[in-house]
């Protein structure tokens, strides 16, 4: 069990340039996801940093973004070829 909470982050960004920036910001923390929905293990500091970064990207009149903390007592269920999210010891940022 990870010491960092698991979050589900989803966004709907209308401008392709902002969409790329949001994708780049969230992928730094993502352990999995598809298109505009990602699973991320975030410490309090990491969550604050990501929210700050997304606030500078998201247009508050055109876009939407939400970050949902998942209940750690619940077990993750997957279907098909999906993998359960894991909290790695480190991330490689390119």
Q: CATH no. for residue 55?
A: 3.30.70.240
Q: Is residue 93 part of a domain?
A: no
In a domain, 49, yes or no: yes
Residue 89 lies in a domain: no
Rounded mean pLDDT, 26-53: 91
Asked if residue 1 belongs to a domain, the reply is no
Greater confidence (66 vs 33) lies with: 66
Looking at residue 48, its pLDDT comes to 96
Return the half-sphere exposure (C-beta side, CA atoms, 13 A cut-off) of residue 77: 1
Residue 19 has pLDDT above 70, yes or no: yes
Three-class HEC string of 11-65: EECCCHHHHHHHHHHHHCCEEEEECCEEEEECCHHHHHHHHHHHHHHCCCCCCEE
Asked whether the predicted pLDDT for residue 1 surpasses 70, the reply is no
For residue 46, the enclosing domain spans 6-69
Number of domains within the chain: 1
d(CA 61, CA 27): 24
Task: Please check whether residue 85 lies inside any domain of the structure.
Answer: no
Q: What mean pLDDT do residues 40-53 have? A: 94
Give the pTM: 0.79
């Amino acid at each position: 069990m990870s010491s960092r909470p698991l979050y589900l982050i989803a966004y709907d960004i209308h401008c392709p340039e902002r969409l790329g920036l949001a994708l780049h910001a969230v992928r730094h923390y993502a352990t999995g996801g598809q298109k505009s929905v990602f699973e991320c293990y975030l410490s309090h500091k990491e969550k604050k940093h990501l929210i700050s970064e997304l606030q500078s990207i998201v247009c508050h009149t055109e876009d939407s973004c939400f970050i949902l903390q998942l209940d750690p007592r619940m077990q993750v269920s997957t279907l098909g070829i999906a993998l359960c999210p894991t909290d790695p010891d480190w991330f490689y940022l390119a």
